[in-house]
Homo-oligomer: A and B are copies of this chain.
Amino acid sequence: MNIAVVAPSCTLSREAAERLEVLVHDRGDCEVAIHPQCFLSDGHFAGTDEQRLGALREVMADASVDSVWFARGGYGSNRIAEAAVRDLPDAARSKLYLGYSDAGFLHAGFHKAGLNVAWGPMPQDLRRDGGKAAVTRALDWMVKRDPSALEPDLGQPAMAFNLTVLAALLGTVLEPDFTGVDLLIEDVSEHHYRIDRTMFHVTANPNVRRVSRLRLGRVGDIPENDPDFGRDELAIVQEWCARSGIPFGGRADIGHDVLNRVVPFTKEN
């Protein structure tokens, strides 16, 4: 089981990379190659668009790689997502792509292109208190498809997105078909008024309105709304589901935290 780590968004911390190497060594059931591109820096990003795309395309085309693991989120994968799925080599189709948060741009475009993607913890989570459990969960899925890593109530098909990332990819070439999808959303560091505005945007979309249900993961680190917004994120999501006719399916076990679970977009045979 060979896993390649690349960073299509922001730079991976050396500390997280070192912890990952220890963790993988102790497990002894997989090989994890952290691409040197993960440590590049170009302003906000882990290298220029060309460097990030180059590393991603390289591991996608490598037939010896079983899983491509996105090092961390932040922002930037949208800038290379369309180019990443152009003229796909066969080897790109036989592997799993795993990550969350900003990686949602890749998840959307890759899933649309027929690739096998999953939402799940990333190496940078090792910087969180208790992050080892999260990263172990991702490895358990990549290495042995351990069902205990999964979000426990997944319909088929299922998709998971950061709400703000989902909003930003609607209307772009990355937008996947949401028909019949069990759609899980979560968010982090967004004010309640922004969550309300983004839910207005997302639930207005005719494609999104074709989901089988929408479920709300955790919304973390919400900055203080001035004045108090007057309702919480659960009430906000329920209201926009009701206004748009989307069935609200309750809570989901995902989020920007160490309890974040795995959500495969495609059921594997």
Contacts and interface: CB of A to CB of B under 8 A. Distances in A.
B230 A193 contact: no
A10 to B, nearest CB: 9
Interface string A229-242: 11100000000000
Interface string A183-205: 00000000011001110110011
Contact of A192 (B44, B74, B171, B197): B44
Chain A: number of interface residues, binned into ranges:
20 to 34
Contact of A79 (B41, B75, B192, B200): B200
A210 to B, nearest CB: 14
B44 A229 contact: yes
A42 interface: yes
A74 B225 CA distance: 11
A261 B39 CA distance: 45
Contact of A75 (B45, B78, B196): B196
Given A170-B171, A171-B170, A171-B205, A200 B44 contact: no
Nearest to A165: B197
B43 A201 contact: no
Contacts of A196: 44, 75, 79
Contacts of A225: 44
Given A75-B193, A193-B44, A196-B75, A169 B201 contact: yes
B78 A200 contact: yes
Nearest to A81: B200
A73 to B, nearest CB: 11
A173 interface: yes
A204 B74 CA distance: 21
Interface in A214-255: 225, 227-231
A2 interface: no
Contacts of A193: 44, 74-76
A145 to B, nearest CB: 33
A225 to B, nearest CB: 6
Interface string A68-83: 0000001110110000
A171 B207 CA distance: 10
Given A169-B201, A171-B205, 5 more contacts: A43-B227, A44-B227, A44-B229, A75-B196, A170-B170
